[in-house]
Structure 1
Amino acid sequence: MVLTEIFNENSNSTFFKEGPLAQIQDLVNVWSVVILLSLGLIYFALDAFLQRRQSSVKSPPGPTCAKIPFSPVLVWHEFRGNRRLYIHSLHERYGDAVRIGYNEYSFASVTAVSTIYMRNDKVELEKSSFYSLFELYGVKTSFSTLGNKEPYTNSKIVKEGALAVIQNRADAFIRQVEEKDGYMDVYWQSQLTSVARNTCIVMHWIAQLGRQNGTHSFESEQDKNIMREMSYHDSLKSQLVHFHAPTFLAGYLEQILPHRPNPLADAFVKNACQPPESGSSATNASYSLLHHLETREKFHPGNMPAEIMDHLAAGVDTTGDALCFLMYLLSLPQNQSVQDELRIQLKNKDAGVTYMDAVISEGLRCFPPIPMSQPRVVPSEGIIIGGYDIPGESIVGVQAWSLHRNPKNFEDPDEFRPERWLRANKECKSAYLAFGTGNRRCKGKYLAMEEMKCLLRKIYFELSTSIDSRWTTHVEDMQMADQIIASRPKGQKCLLRFKLADTVGSRLLDTVKGKLPSTVEGGVKSRQEKRLEVYKLEYRPQKEDDKDGLMSVGGTISRSSIV
């Protein structure tokens, strides 16, 4: 009965009208749709599963605390001035890529440098809001501007006039060595050198030969006070408050935390930006930043003080500290051979320049002027860095301290070894981040290099340096202390002893003893006599039986009061 009903109900169906083949075709069509839908669902489910799995694998590893909103652990280390070492410890534990905060990642590879700072095929990543800390007088400077376009460059100011200023300041440094009996706090003196050089180059006035706006930090007490303001401040906590604290707390915390007082420097800069007095023929030197800003189209005059102060602070906080760290490295007992080699190579003009470049590069590798992260913002669509998927709006960066100490980039990274740069390959050079890279790299690189070369040449051509024996805390004092993005020696001192190098002393000793001619012909002093006059040599045997005055048994030769 049932079968009859079923038969009757389907007697008019296509199956019976068109035969069994048509029914099979319909079934195939139905099942095809079902199978395709099922496969689609399986595909999307599997894809979602794989994406979740890949996300956990492809996201850089890091400590559990990095997943906490507002990144309290990272902020704590920042306030303690320990961010750089904390991040470096994470790299040592987790590798070249590490998650350091809720939405912040740090990298220590050449690939990451290229992706973050040098994206030649795409638009470069923009700076993060962290750089708002460096606004001055309410103005965004070339350094604090967040865009990725290359700001104006001041690299062209390395011209004859600027080089003359650098030479002058290097000579003044040597005079200070003589006046201090060969013992000097190089941290203090290198800061003075940088302040004096920076102000002359940035704000030099031709008509006044640099005296109106360029400081003479070796002679003027007021200029020394300006240097103290700019070099001995501790603005870490007060500046970070503006960045991390909620708005309702920032005002209160700002009142109880130390500030970076710059009344003298502010007055100095604002006065320098005033136009010359009526009737004055003074103009800004063509190589100076002030002249560059005045002649630059679309540059608002009201922004000039901020730009000038920005460049002054940048030069003092970086070049001065870099010189200090480098001279400290050269003065360590284990590095005396580097001094000797540098002195020998300086006799050969071409080789001397090459080896000096290597010495400076190695010093900046060990103690980069900007050792910490240079943060950038990931675009909204996200980015892949070193094989890791980084979400959009995240903060990413490479800190030079970790990049320079990655054994994948530099063999024996903790050793001071200038020779590595004489045979450095492309990969090694790509891992060098002392001056940054990309469009927003340091624009004062060439000035800084010229200053360091000039001063080192003046010193190590004929002098040697060593650690002052009375300075027993030098290892601790010369640890890097973080200051927002730059750094300085923890003890803010570097006590070195300067003396004539043995090789030079022996040569001059021969002159004193008459082994070289020292005659006056036609009323013109001979080269040897001129040299003796310059060095004001005094031969003083220390023992009665030391009639030959050999330096090996106590005889000394001095240039002025250097002993």
Structure 2
Amino acid sequence: MMAFTLPSHQVLSWIPVVLIALYAVKIFRRACFGPLRRVPGPWATLFSSLPLRFQAIKARKVFWVHELHQKYGPVVRISPTEIDVADTEAFSDIHKIGSPFLKSPWYVTFRGEVNCFTSSDPKIHGRKRKTLARPFSKTSLRGHWEAMVVDLAKQTVTKIKEEATQGTADLLKWWTFFATDVTGEVAFGEAFGLVESGQKPKFILDLEGVNRARALRAEVAPLYNVVKTCTFGYFDPLGKADQNIERMSFEIMRNARFRDLHKANIISGVLNETDPEDRFSEREAVLEAIMLVVAGSGTTAITLTYLCWAVMFNPAYQKRLEEEVASIGQDLGDAQLEALPFLDAVVRETLRLYGAAPGGLPRTSPNGGCHLAGYYIPEGLTINTQAFSLHRDPLSYHDPFEFRPERYLDGKMDSHAVFAPFGSGSRTCLGIHLAYMELRLAAATFFRECAGVKLADVTTPESMEIVQYFLIAPKAQRCLVTLR
């Protein structure tokens, strides 16, 4: 009896077919028997994460997820292994201090290294946060850096006023320069000179480019890693770019320390800790400083831009704010401004509607699984709680899509409403007090020195429409104003 054999080239040709068939069976089994099959959501999300990735690449991820909540309810499936939750009680459970819901691996995928922001290990995060938190207290910020923020706010508004008097000024550009210089002073001990020069140096341009690429890589991480592996590490443009940024950061740090060894900044603080357990290595300090610049520049600039736009879009609000900031003394101080009720309400309402990072805060479901808003979620899955939806909950906020600062003044706010533009719990943004200080001082300086400023004709609701990758931004990538 003759044995039946296939030629080797035919055997090889069948291998891709078999692999594809096995993968199809795996996807089908996951859809029919997977852990999230009972959670509501589009049928396609049972099979693949492509719908989610597609929306992220289109800069519509938060809008798409919000639309799913409106259709399916407070818990929605957005991929075979990922849900989003828009429930106030569940949000508190997930983000409370001591929560077993740890940061998902997405953060390291996005940033590329472990630091205070990305670490999912509570011990590593706790050690880093303990050391970094001291200089970011409200008292420390006002003692060491308030005068610097005041001075940079004045310089920035002077530049805006000059341009707006002659024609138009781009608030997004100038607030980006302002916030980046502030973070440079706080992190490294020197501003990057953006406000003074009116342009971005190579270090900042490179950092912005890498961050845009990182946001894309986070959405296509499996493909990126496959290509990197198949090329034995030769294809890793972000790795090489990170090395260049790290090298330039070391140069900035050493130059700043050489010029003024006694000037307060985050790097010198963490390097000079007396307790060896709290002291950072030089590389740890530089990575945290880079993260501060990344996290604290674009976010504050975007929020400031939308604050000014939203106020100017409503003449009554603009008049009220201009009168309030004009009523205090010539020298603006953060403590004074914090006590101004309408300014505070404007800042809070801007953060509610236009917080720069309204995305999911991804967490991993704990060992043994959990129950959230009536659904059982097995362990090891990704749970998102996007502020975009929680801040627009009609049960918590009346007219949730309307910019209404007075909601914080009439005493009718729901005490259970989620307000989390800076995250929540033990992972609340370290720079929250610095951000509030910048928002108050910059906004007050702008509306006092540029009273009567108007939106340029090209600055419309359409041009200011939100697009969202990791941070939000105006669709037009600018916000032009004029004093003519």
So what's the TM-score if we normalise by structure 1?
Answer: 0.69
Alignment of 1:103 with 2:77, yes or no, is: no
Q: Which of the numbers 461, 464, 470 marks the counterpart of 1:478? A: 464
Tell me by how many angstroms 1:429 deviates. 6.4
Q: Which of the numbers 256, 269, 285 marks the counterpart of 1:304? A: 285
Query: 1:65 & 1:327 partners in 2: Cα distance?
Result: 40
Tell me by how many angstroms 1:424 deviates. 4.9
Q: Which of the numbers 260, 263, 269 marks the counterpart of 1:292? A: 269
Q: 1:263 to 1:336 in 2, by over 3 A?
A: farther
- Superposed, 1:369-518 pairs within 5 Å as 369-424=356-411, 427-428=414-415, 430-462=417-449, 463-469=451-457, 471=458, 474-483=460-469, 485-498=470-483
Tell me by how many angstroms 1:457 deviates. 1.0
* Partner of residue 38, structure 1: none
Query: Secondary structure of the equivalent of 1:475?
Result: coil
Q: 1:94 to 1:427 in 2, by over 3 A?
A: same
Query: Secondary structure of the equivalent of 1:245?
Result: helix
Alignment of 1:319 with 2:300, yes or no, is: yes
* Partner of residue 127, structure 1: 103
Q: 1:260 to 1:179 in 2, by over 3 A?
A: farther
* Partner of residue 61, structure 2: 83
Query: 1:146 & 1:453 partners in 2: Cα distance?
Result: 32
* Partner of residue 150, structure 2: 167
Residue type at the aligned position of 2:175: S
Tell me by how many angstroms 1:497 deviates. 1.6
Query: 1:189 & 1:337 partners in 2: Cα distance?
Result: 25
Query: 1:382 & 1:365 partners in 2: Cα distance?
Result: 31
Q: 1:142 to 1:237 in 2, by over 3 A?
A: closer
Query: 1:417 & 1:251 partners in 2: Cα distance?
Result: 51
Query: 1:268 & 1:246 partners in 2: Cα distance?
Result: 25
Residue type at the aligned position of 1:340: K
Residue type at the aligned position of 1:403: L
Tell me by how many angstroms 1:466 deviates. 2.0
Query: 2:481 & 2:208 partners in 1: Cα distance?
Result: 19
Alignment of 1:271 with 2:251, yes or no, is: yes
User: Is the Cα–Cα contact under 8 Å of residues 271 and 279 in structure 2 kept in the other structure?
Assistant: no
Query: 2:195 & 2:245 partners in 1: Cα distance?
Result: 16
The answer to which of 412-421 and 474-483 deviates more is: 474-483
Tell me by how many angstroms 1:468 deviates. 0.4
Residue type at the aligned position of 2:111: E
* Partner of residue 515, structure 1: none
Tell me by how many angstroms 1:250 deviates. 4.8
Query: 1:423 & 1:160 partners in 2: Cα distance?
Result: 33
Gaps in structure 2 of 5+ consecutive residues: 1-33, 329-335
Work out the number of aligned pairs and report it.
424
Q: 1:259 to 1:91 in 2, by over 3 A?
A: farther
Query: 1:56 & 1:304 partners in 2: Cα distance?
Result: 41
Per-residue Cα deviation, 1:420-472 (whole angstroms, up to 9, x for no partner): 01235674564111111100111111101101100111121351332102x16
* Partner of residue 240, structure 1: 218
Bigger proportion of residues as helix:
2
Q: 1:124 to 1:348 in 2, by over 3 A?
A: farther
Q: Superposition RMSD on alpha carbons, in Å?
A: 3.1
* Partner of residue 158, structure 1: 141
Query: Secondary structure of the equivalent of 1:160?
Result: helix
Q: Which of the numbers 120, 142, 161 marks the counterpart of 1:178? A: 161
User: Is the Cα–Cα contact under 8 Å of residues 63 and 99 in structure 1 kept in the other structure?
Assistant: yes
Residue type at the aligned position of 1:215: F
Q: Which of the numbers 197, 219, 230 marks the counterpart of 1:220? A: 197
Tell me by how many angstroms 1:57 deviates. 12
Identity %, equivalent residues: 21
* Partner of residue 332, structure 2: none
Query: 2:36 & 2:363 partners in 1: Cα distance?
Result: 23
User: Is the Cα–Cα contact under 8 Å of residues 45 and 79 in structure 2 kept in the other structure?
Assistant: yes
* Partner of residue 64, structure 1: 43
Q: 1:230 to 1:298 in 2, by over 3 A?
A: closer
Query: 1:222 & 1:324 partners in 2: Cα distance?
Result: 18
Query: Secondary structure of the equivalent of 2:472?
Result: strand
Query: 2:412 & 2:222 partners in 1: Cα distance?
Result: 41
User: Is the Cα–Cα contact under 8 Å of residues 196 and 217 in structure 1 kept in the other structure?
Assistant: yes
